[in-house]
Amino acid sequence: MSTNGRRVVVTGMGLVSPCGHTVEESWKNISAGVSGIARIAAFDVSAYDSQIGGEVKGFDPERHMDKKEARRADRSVQFAFAAAAGAMAGIEGSGFDADRFGAIIGSGIGGITTFEQQHTVLMEKGPSRISPFFIPMMISDMSAGQLSIRYGLKGPNFGTVSACASGGHAICDAYMYVKHGFADMMLAGGTEATISPMALGGFCSMKALSTRNDAPERASRPFDRDRDGFVMAEGCGLVVLEELGHARRRGAAILAELAGIGLTGDAYHITSPAPGGAGAVNAMRMAIATAGLEPGAVDYINAHGTSTAYNDKTEADAIGTVFGPESAVKVSSTKSVHGHMLGAAAAIEFIVCVSAMRDGLIPPTMNLDNPDPECSLNHVANAAERRGLRAVMSNSFGFGGHNVCLLLRRFEE
């Protein structure tokens, strides 16, 4: 199991988001600044302070799984099946070694919608009426489990749970299994379906959400002076990571190279980042170092950029520390159009970074009308910017002090 010279590349991507049901549809809208945020339609939100979200609209799980499977799967798992169809396109049936192909899929909250529905059954009809599928539908590892069954993947298989860093941790773990020879291919990413009465109410009670209900598409405004909270969203992003030699032997199209990762903990607070973004600083430096690069080689950062007052400022401070106050590195947060998909956010933004590098197009931070002077960065604001990209970074930070940075490099021989 030699790991000498093993390089990890991206050979498949699948995405379901408020901006589209595929990678290309979502990327087209995200790069054009077309918002997927609207008034929540899934349930009555009139009693909530925040009434807006990034819902996946018009989603039909039966396009990707049969009716019985769909009925026995939480919405987060249904999203994972849809995203996997895109990520595995051209791979399924290609004769891969199932014992060396695994799946790691993160979720910050898992099957909370199923939990709420079955709790209502308990209260109204009693314990005997709880579905026998309640537990396997609810638990956070089930996307990885279900997809391993669907595609016959017998390599490393589990879920990651680290709040808004969950999808990033899944990709990091998958990278390490491929890099160190425990697998040749990994399906990895994150999925989340948390637009539910309980989840919305909980985040409202925290005063974490935007209440700009009269203009949903203007509500998420990372790094803007007038930001007032994040916008909750749902979706799934999955990628296939593969050892370079293995990808070459099967003639795979190589989309990018995952060259570096950084993982740290703040050890500070359950929700607030460490002052000055110390954990984020260390994670970014680790990603750059493992990629064998210098900070000046990074062309673009897809920021965590949640549109909350303290998080945006702290991330801006951290970027300034790593790259310097006058750095040329471009920064944007696409949460301005697709919202914050919590455990799926890191994986979806990773796919955005691959797409940006492929097309030489940096997606904008929309609604950045009045940049906060305390978030002084080289912003790409309100319109995409054409630029050749050789190295891009995706930042994700979660409640509990979890920090993940993923550094992608344009693939070169």
By DSSP bridging, strand 8-16 and strand 235-243 are antiparallel
CB 91 within 8 A of CB 12: yes
- What is the model's pLDDT at position 94? 72
- What is the model's pLDDT at position 170? 98
- What is the model's pLDDT at position 1? 36
**Residue 259 is which amino acid?**
A
**Active-site residue, selected from the candidate residues 169, 304, 338, 379:** 304
* Domain boundary assignment for the chain: 8-249, 261-409
What Å distances lie between residue 339 and 84, 136, 322, 382, CA to CA? 21, 28, 26, 15
Q: Which CATH architecture has domain 8-249?
A: 3-Layer(aba) Sandwich (3.40)
Mean pLDDT by runs of 10 across the 413 residues of the chain is 75 98 98 98 98 98 95 97 96 85 97 96 97 95 97 98 97 98 98 97 97 98 98 98 95 96 97 94 98 97 97 97 93 98 98 98 98 97 97 97 97 86
**Active-site residue, selected from the candidate residues 21, 169, 340, 402:** 340
Residue 335 φ/ψ region, left for φ over 0, alpha for ψ in the -120 to 50 degree band, beta for the rest: alpha
- Whether 164 is catalytic is yes
Greatest distance between any 2 Cα atoms in the chain: 64
- What is the model's pLDDT at position 5? 80
- What is the model's pLDDT at position 93? 72
The domain made up of 261-409 has a fold known as Peroxisomal Thiolase; Chain A, domain 1 (3.40.47)
Q: Look up the pTM and report it.
A: 0.96
Residue 202's φ and ψ, nearest 5 degrees, are -65, -45
- Whether 269 is catalytic is no
CB 343 within 8 A of CB 313: no
**Active-site residue, selected from the candidate residues 19, 21, 164, 204:** 164
- What is the model's pLDDT at position 159? 98
Q: Which residues contact 284 (CB under 8 A, 6 or more apart)?
A: 262, 318, 319, 322, 393, 395, 405
- What is the model's pLDDT at position 326? 82
- What is the model's pLDDT at position 2? 41
Can 8-249 and 261-409 be said to share one CATH topology?
yes
